[in-house]
Structures are given as structure tokens and as C-alpha cells.
């Protein structure tokens, strides 16, 4: 087989103070990438100056601010390589990540998405890995993608399959990666996993907790969108419906907790109480949160912050 080609695409917004770590890790690969591209998503800081020491080893693509999905699409448009390897601006690759990815790509040429395990780094301290909390399905990936984003948010992606699935949805602000992998898998793509933690995913205190409710709601949105996907088979619809119902319950629970413990107003709990498609218990708790928060707190305990769970 011919050797696959890789572009490491780093998307950046206001990341001048952290971009060096990501770029250094991309350039230190034991199997070098054909290209290292930084997509500047409309930053107003000194990102260009931060990249100046790398000279021609890094290509900078600048665009107006449009969000993560838009930046990823700009990276896809900027390269002629076979694969795009995703790297966020404040994260880092371990030196063997691209080597291990290329080896699996050669062994299994049918794969369109290749992930590696990732290590969570919380406030500078290494924590658990992605696979410790998220099982990887070798079989029945078509329905497993409804329940979790098992390819991770940072895989290496075959660009032709990504384009055939319609690229990243730029109307989505958070779950655009999960939405994209779901569309690719329903279109026939397969996912492979290197079971070594070769990616450092950096988290800062409150970074996940602050976006938890928005993330839960966007998961519901992507699953509702999948209802209209022409590649969703009739025999897969019951599994999809169960997952959608489960994620609606999680989002509703998140809204109730935000009312009781997050300083949000009671109006969103009232909306949950009136919503359809939820269990009677959830709607009752929502009504209680809207009408009598002190009483509701007897029945609803706050979920531990994601950073605490990862520690």
C-alpha cells in the first residue's frame, strides 16, 4: 500500500499564549506530518507573532471568526492530504501519535476515522484516560454512536469521507464533532482505535462545568437532526429513539440542577415541566424546582463537576 498522507490541523482562537505547546508536539512526531496547519478563527491576540519562530514549518490560515466547526472546515479546505489529524490549540500530541495512527491506517485501509486514547490533564495534573470512562465498540458502531461520541473529539479523519458526509455543521457550536462522526458512520464509515493515551486533553477548572447545560442540549439537537438522516435504517430507529429519550432526560436534569444550584432563573425549570417527551418524575421535579426550590433540593443533588469526576 502507498503511505497515507497527514495534515495536522490546529484550530485556534485567542490562543497565542498556549499555541506553542500544540505546535511543538505536532512538529516532534516520530512520523512527521506532511503539513502542520494552524487555522486562526478570527483571533485578536498576537497569534501570528507566536507562530513566527516556526517559519515555514507551520502554515497559517486566517479567517473571520465562525466557531470551531467553521475552523475545522477551513483546515480541510487548506490541505490536499488524505487525512486530517485534529489537534486543539491548548492540547498536545505524544510523539508517537501520528506513527501509531499511520500504522493502523496501513493495516486497516477501510477505516475513515482513527482515534487514540487520550489522557485528561486537569489543572495541570494528569488524570484518567478517555477509554477508562468510554468503552470503544468494535461492533455495531452504527447504533453505538447514538449513545456516546466514542471516536473522541480529536480523531484523524479521511478527508474524502468527511466531505462526502457534508463536512462539519457550522450551525452547531459545541457538538459538531459528534454530529459529524454520526453522519459519517451512518454513511458507512468505520472507526478504529489505538488503545494508547497519545493525546493530552487539557482542562481548566470550570471549563466543562460552565458549558455542561449547553452541551447536554446540543446532544439532543444532534440526535433530533439524525432522525431525518436518510442513512438511518428502520431497524436502527428503536435504538436511536431510546438514546434520544435518554439524552432529553439528561438535558432536563441539567436544566433543573442549573435552576437549583447554578443561579439560573426558575423559568427554564418551568419550561421543562411543560415539555413533552419526558418522564413524569422529571417533569414533577422540574415543577417543584420552579415553584419551591428549597423543597426540590431535598430530592435533587448536584452532579459533581466533570473536572472532579476526572480527578
Instruction: Kindly report, residue by residue over 86-139, the tens digit of the pLDDT.
Output: 999 999 999 999 999 999 999 999 999 999 999 999 888 888 999 999 999 999
Does residue 186 share a domain with residue 47? yes
Does residue 150 share a domain with residue 293? no
Q: Note the pLDDT of residue 264.
A: 73
In a domain, 152, yes or no: yes
Say how many domains are in the chain: 2
Domain containing residue 189: 6-203
Does residue 240 share a domain with residue 113? no
Instruction: Kindly report, residue by residue over 124-169, the tens digit of the pLDDT.
Output: 888 899 999 999 999 999 999 999 999 999 999 999 999 999 999 9
Instruction: Kindly report, residue by residue over 36-78, the tens digit of the pLDDT.
Output: 999 999 999 999 999 999 999 999 999 999 999 999 999 999 9
Does residue 184 share a domain with residue 52? yes
Does residue 286 share a domain with residue 167? no
In a domain, 130, yes or no: yes
Q: Could you identify the residue written with the cell 437532526? A: 225
pLDDT at residue 204 above 80?
A: no
Q: Which residue has the higher pLDDT, 158 or 261?
A: 158
Does residue 243 share a domain with residue 123? no
Amino acid at each position: 500500500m502507498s503511505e497515507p498522507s497527514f495534515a495536522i490541523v490546529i484550530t485556534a482562537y485567542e490562543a497565542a499564549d498556549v499555541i506553542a505547546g500544540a505546535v511543538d508536539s505536532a512538529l516532534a512526531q516520530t512520523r512527521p506530518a506532511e503539513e502542520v496547519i494552524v487555522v486562526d478563527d478570527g483571533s485578536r491576540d498576537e497569534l501570528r507573532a507566536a507562530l513566527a519562530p516556526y517559519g515555514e514549518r507551520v502554515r497559517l490560515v486566517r479567517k473571520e471568526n465562525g466557531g470551531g466547526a467553521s475552523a475545522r472546515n477551513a483546515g480541510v479546505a487548506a490541505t490536499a492530504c488524505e487525512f486530517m489529524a485534529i489537534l486543539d490549540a491548548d492540547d498536545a500530541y505524544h510523539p508517537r501519535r501520528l506513527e501509531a495512527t499511520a500504522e493502523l491506517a496501513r493495516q486497516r485501509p477501510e477505516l475513515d476515522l482513527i482515534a487514540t486514547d487520550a489522557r485528561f490533564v486537569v489543572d495541570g495534573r494528569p488524570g484518567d484516560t478517555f477509554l477508562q470512562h468510554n468503552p470503544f465498540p468494535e461492533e455495531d458502531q452504527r447504533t453505538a454512536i447514538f449513545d456516546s461520541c466514542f471516536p473522541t473529539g480529536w480523531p484523524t479523519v479521511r478527508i474524502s469521507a468527511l466531505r462526502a458526509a457534508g463536512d462539519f455543521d457550522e450551525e452547531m457550536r459545541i457538538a459538531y464533532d459528534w454530529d459529524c462522526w454520526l453522519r459519517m458512520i451512518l454513511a458507512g464509515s468505520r472507526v478504529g482505535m489505538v488503545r494508547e493515551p497519545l493525546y493530552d486533553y487539557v482542562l481548566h477548572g470550570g471549563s466543562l462545568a460552565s458549558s455542561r447545560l449547553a452541551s447536554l442540549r446540543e446532544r439532543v439537537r444532534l440526535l433530533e437532526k439524525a432522525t431525518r438522516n436518510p442513512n438511518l435504517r428502520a431497524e436502527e430507529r428503536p435504538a436511536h429513539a431510546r438514546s434520544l429519550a435518554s439524552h432529553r432526560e439528561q438535558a432536563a436534569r441539567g436544566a433543573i440542577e442549573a435552576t437549583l444550584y447554578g443561579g439560573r432563573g426558575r423559568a427554564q425549570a418551568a419550561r421543562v415541566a411543560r415539555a413533552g417527551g419526558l418522564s413524569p418524575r422529571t417533569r414533577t421535579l422540574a415543577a417543584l424546582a420552579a415553584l419551591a426550590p428549597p423543597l426540590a433540593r431535598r430530592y435533587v443533588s448536584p452532579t459533581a463537576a466533570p473536572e472532579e469526576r476526572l480527578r
